[in-house]
Amino acid sequence: MLRIRRVREPRGLVLVVEGALTAGTVPVLEAECTEGLGEEGTVLLDLRDVNYVDGAGVKLVRRLGKFGVEVARSSQVVRELIEG
């Protein structure tokens, strides 16, 4: 299960993500990021409460980075997975 909460901060839209980022939930986060980029221009991901990331989740976060989506917060384990 994946939950996403939107928080507007001075730096842009923060998507607070909770749960598992897997092949089954990737489309949900991708849609939220795409919508947020269109509305706000800047999207930051708070992944502190993500408890599992599979290969599809890692690929998504890396791909989103190419479009300007920034990981603002994450656990050490998630950060290491994303940075490779």
Range of the domain at 20: 2-83
64 vs 70: CA distance, rounded Å:
8
Question: How many domains does the chain divide into?
Answer: 1
Positive or negative CA dihedral for 25, 4, 18, 46? Answer: positive
List pLDDT tens digits, range 49-73. 999 999 999 999 999 999 999 999 9
The pLDDT tens digits for 7-17 are 999 999 999 99
Looking at residue 40, its pLDDT comes to 87
Q: What is the mean pLDDT of the chain?
A: 95
Element (H, E) at 45: strand 43-53
CATH number at residue 66: 3.30.750.24
